[in-house]
Amino acid sequence: MPTDLRCQGKKHGVLIDDETVEIKCNSRWCGAASGIVVLHRFDLRSGELLETLRYADPITEGGESHGTQHHSDPVRSA
C-alpha cells in the first residue's frame, strides 16, 4: 500500500513500495504547466529515474481556472 511522504505543510511524494518513490515535479523542462501534472518515479536504492508520467490536472480540467491557487498533492492514476 502506498505511503504518503509529507510534512505539516504539504505532501512531497508517495512511497509506492520498498523500492520506488513517486515525486511531483514543477519544472517546465519536464513538462509541468497549467493543467499538466508531472510525476517522476525513482528507484530508492540507485536513485535512478525509472519513469516520468504526465497527466491532465483534474483540478483544472474543463477549462476551469483557479488563479494562483496551488495544488501540491501528487495525483495518482488507478
pLDDT digits over 22-60, tens only? 999 999 999 999 999 999 999 999 999 999 999 998 776
| pTM higher than the cut 0.85 | no
Write the pLDDT tens digit of every residue in 53-66. 999 987 765 554 44
User: Which residues have CB under 8 Å from 12's CB, separation 6+?
Assistant: 5, 6, 23
**Average pLDDT over every residue of 10-16:** 91
* Residues sharing a CB contact under 8 Å with residue 49, sequence separation 6 or more, in sequence order: 40, 41, 42
Domain extent listing, the chain? 3-57
**CA triplet 58, 72, 15: central angle to 5 degrees?**
100
- Taking the CA atoms of the chain, what radius of gyration do you get in angstroms? 13
SS3 18: coil
